[in-house]
Every structure is written in structure tokens, then in C-alpha cells.
């Protein structure tokens, strides 16, 4: 008997939930456009400065897909510390990673409420996977969120992006202005963002609006000018 061939569109139509998901926070027009881009591509790089709503949007797309049964799991990953350093932290893997994934959890709680999100975490439908533990994994029927991806190296980004399996999406969030790598040119996010047009079903989009206090834009501009001044004096 020949192997079953999955048609992504038919697969999704069979899993549609008629009742719309009611989120506590609505997306603005910029985010709605970005969501359409994400839904129409397998892998999307989502760029934007601090406060632009990258992580909130990624969480909304992932939760919406999970509730509508488009995906069976949400996978959360982000660069933190090395595999060896994680081993020295107290607790199990979930407890070790908790400080780094709290911003994602906070966005999910803001969108849908802690009481509704926590059961998915406890059941494993929302799973934390440190970058150091991604190798060898294949994520099927999943929405993968890669946060703080500007601090992922080219080698790590290749490994992460190639983990995606059938009927899945990957949302890679990053900010070129917050690269903490010693060699900023090694950022895998920058390279993949620039290469988006050369790969089918790979998209790149930048969010421009600020969702925090207006002073955030002024502070970001202030430090950008200072960094330019320092680099110019080297």
C-alpha cells in the first residue's frame, strides 16, 4: 500500500474549529498583516525593535493554531546558556529554562489567561526545548517559536531551522539591535533574514510599531546613536 500523501490545505480544513478563539489582546493592523505572512509560509523571520510585539504575535499565532487543532504542540526555544552550564542549574529541565522563557509565558498569559495556558504546559502540549537540545529532533504537527534569535549563530540557526517537520510552522523572532554575540557578524538571524527571498516558503517581515511607552523609541534611538559614535571612534 503506497504511503499516504498529505495535502496541507485539506489537512487544515479537516481540523478547523468553527468557534473563533477569543483572545484578551487584539492584534493591530501591522500585526494582522504579519500574521497573514506567517500563515502563508512554513518559516517566517519576524524582526523588530524592543517593544514591537514580535513575541506577542508569535504566541498568538501559535496558540490560535493549537486551539484550532492545526498543531498538536507548541515548541519554545531560545538561546540561553550552554548545555554544560544548564546542567549546573538547579531543578529539572523545565525549571532550569523557566527564567528564560518567562517572557513567552507572560505573553501567552496576557493573550489567553494563565488558567487556560498552564494546562497545556503541564500536559506537554507547550514544550520547552533549549537550543542545545534541538539537534536530532524533528517537530511534526507543531508550531515552533524561536525567541531572541539574533543571538543564535549561523551554525545553530541551520540546525534549528532544519528541525521542522511536516504540517508545522516556525516563527523566528529577533532584533539586530540586541545582538549579544562577541562577533555580531556571526548572527544566524541576520544571514537568514537577508536570504529569505532565495528560499521558497521562507519569509521575512519587520514590525515597526512600538507597543510600550513612547519613551522606549527615544531610548532605543539614543543608544543607537551612542553605539554608532563608539564604533566610529574605533
CB 196 within 8 A of CB 31: no
For residue 83, name the pLDDT band (cuts at 50, 70, 90).
very low
Over residues 6-37, the pLDDT tens digits come to 334 433 444 444 555 678 888 889 999 999 99
Average pLDDT value for the chain: 82
- Percent of the chain predicted with pLDDT > 90: 49
Q: What are phi and psi of 116, to 5 degrees?
A: -95, -25
CB 188 within 8 A of CB 196: no
Give residue limits of the domains in the chain: 26-232
CA-to-CA distance for 201 and 53, rounded, in angstroms? 23
Using CA atoms, how far residue 186 sits from 142, 150, 154, in Å, is: 28, 9, 6
CA-to-CA distance for 180 and 199, rounded, in angstroms? 27
The full length of the chain comes to: 234
- Percent of the chain predicted with pLDDT > 70: 80
Q: Average pLDDT in the 118-133 region? A: 89
Nearest by Cα to 137 from 184, 73, 196: 73
Whether pLDDT at 215 is above 90: no
On the CB side of 142, CA atoms within 13 Å amount to 22
Q: Average pLDDT in the 104-125 region? A: 92
DSSP string, 82-121: -HHHHHHSSS-HHHHHHHHHHHHHHHHHHHH-HHHHHHHH
Over residues 170-181, the pLDDT tens digits come to 999 999 888 888
For residue 115, name the pLDDT band (cuts at 50, 70, 90).
very high
Using CA atoms, how far residue 123 sits from 22, 24, 54, 118, 221, in Å, is: 22, 23, 26, 9, 43
We find that the CATH architecture of domain 26-232 is 3-Layer(aba) Sandwich (3.40)
Nearest by Cα to 173 from 156, 193, 199: 193
At 36, is the secondary structure helix, strand, or coil? helix
Using CA atoms, how far residue 138 sits from 16, 165, 182, in Å, is: 24, 6, 30
The three state secondary structure string of 127-156 is: EECCHHHCCCCCECCEEEEECCHHHCEHHH
Q: What are phi and psi of 175, to 5 degrees?
A: -140, 115
**C-alpha cell of 121?**
504546559
CA-to-CA distance for 52 and 173, rounded, in angstroms? 11
Amino acid at each position: 500500500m503506497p504511503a499516504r500523501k498529505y495535502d496541507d490545505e485539506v489537512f487544515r480544513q479537516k481540523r478547523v474549529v468553527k468557534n473563533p478563539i477569543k483572545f484578551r489582546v487584539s492584534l493591530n493592523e501591522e500585526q494582522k498583516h504579519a500574521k497573514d505572512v506567517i500563515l502563508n509560509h512554513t518559516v517566517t523571520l519576524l524582526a523588530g525593535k524592543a517593544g514591537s510585539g514580535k513575541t506577542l504575535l508569535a504566541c498568538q499565532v501559535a496558540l490560535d493554531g493549537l486551539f484550532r487543532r492545526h498543531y498538536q504542540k507548541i515548541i519554545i526555544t531560545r538561546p540561553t546558556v550552554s548545555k554544560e552550564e544548564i546542567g549546573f542549574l538547579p531543578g529539572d529541565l523545565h525549571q532550569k529554562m523557566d527564567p528564560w522563557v518567562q517572557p513567552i509565558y507572560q505573553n501567552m498569559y496576557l493573550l489567553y489567561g494563565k488558567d487556560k495556558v498552564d494546562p497545556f504546559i503541564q500536559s506537554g502540549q507547550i514544550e520547552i526545548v533549549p537550543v542545545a537540545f534541538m539537534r536530532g529532533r524533528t517537530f511534526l504537527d507543531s508550531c515552533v517559536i524561536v525567541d531572541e534569535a539574533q543571538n543564535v549563530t549561523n551554525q545553530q540557526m541551520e540546525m534549528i531551522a532544519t528541525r521542522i517537520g511536516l504540517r508545522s510552522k516556525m516563527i523566528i523572532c529577533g532584533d539586530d539591535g540586541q545582538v549579544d554575540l562577541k562577533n555580531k557578524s556571526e548572527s544566524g538571524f541576520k544571514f537568514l533574514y537577508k536570504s529569505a527571498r532565495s528560499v521558497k516558503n521562507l519569509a521575512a517581515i519587520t514590525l515597526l510599531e512600538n507597543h510600550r511607552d513612547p519613551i522606549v523609541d527615544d531610548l532605543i534611538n539614543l543608544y543607537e546613536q551612542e553605539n554608532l559614535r563608539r564604533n566610529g571612534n574605533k
